[in-house]
Amino acid sequence: MQIKCIAIDDEPLALKQISGYISKTPFLELVAGCKSAFDAMVVLENNEVHLMFVDIQMPDLTGIDFVKSLNKEQKIIFTTAYEEYALEGFKVEALDYILKPFGYEEFLKSATKAKAHFELLEKAATSNRVNNEDYLFVKADYKIQRINLTDIVYIESMREYVQIVLKDSKPVMTLMSLKSLEEKLPKKHFMRVHRSFIVNLNKIKTVERSRIIFEKKYVPVSEQYRDQFQEFLGKSFI
C-alpha cells in the first residue's frame, strides 16, 4: 500500500530534509510539508493522510499538543532533538520517534516499522477467516472489532470511511473503501445497490419505488444497480 504522509517542522532545512526522505521512499507518498501544526490542520481537513512525521518542539503549538488535539486516526512518528520527549511520544501512541540529527538510514528504519503496522491493520480490517462467512474484523476507534455479518443492516460510504450500521448496536466507522469491503462480503447475502450503499439482503422488509426502507433510513437503489436488485426481488416475488 502507499502510505500518504505529511511532514511538520518549523525549521525549513529540517522540513526540506524529511520531505525529501518521504519522496524518495517507494512506499511513502508526500501529501504536504507543513511549517506549523496550524498548516497541518488545513491539510488534514482536505486530504487523506495516514502517517505524520511531527517535530515536537514548535512555537505556538507543540507537536505533542497538536497530536493530542486530533480526533482522526493518523499514525505519528515524532522527530525531536531531545531524547527525553520519547516517553511523551509513546503516551500519545506514537509509532516511533527519530532523534535529530538523523540520516536516511534511521528514517527508513522508522518508516519501515510504520509500513509493517499499516500492513497488519489492512490485513485485519479487510480479511476474515478462510472459508468463514460468519464474521469479519475491522479497525475502529483504535481497536480491532469483530462484526457478525448477520448483525449488519447496511453499509454506507462516507468518503474514505465506511459506516457499518448494525442491528441493536451503534454503527461502526472504519477507514476503508466501500469497494474493498464489498469484495470481502458474501454475495449471496450482500448487494451493492448504490455507489454509496451495500445492503444485507436478509434485512430487507420494505421496498418503496426505488428505495429500501430500514426503519427511519431510506436507502436508494440507483439506476446502475436496479436490474440486479429487481432480479433478486423477482426470485422471491409471488
Domains present along the chain, CATH in parentheses: 3-125 (3.40.50.2300), 128-235 (2.40.50.1020)
Q: What is the DSSP letter of 8?
A: E
pLDDT at 238: 63
State how far the alpha carbon of 39 is from the alpha carbons of 29, 81, 90, 228, in Å: 18, 22, 24, 47
Cell of 225: 444497480
pLDDT at 86: 58
The predicted model scores a pTM of 0.56
State the Cα angle at 125 between 123 and 128, rounded to 5°.
75
Give the span between the Cα atoms of 99 and 110, in whole angstroms.
11
Cβ burial, residue 186 (10 Å; 0-12/13-18/19+)? exposed
Look-up: residue for cell 468463514? 132
Alpha helices by DSSP H, listed for the chain, are: 12-24, 37-46, 63-68, 86-91, 104-126, 178-184, 223-235
pLDDT at 142: 75
Minimal CA–CA distance to 98: which of 21, 210, 182? 21
pLDDT at 129: 41
pLDDT by 10-residue block (mean), the chain, 238 residues: 93 96 96 95 90 90 84 83 65 83 96 91 58 76 87 92 92 90 89 95 91 91 91 80
The strand order across the sheet containing 211-214 reads 206-208, 211-214, 217-220
pLDDT at 88: 62
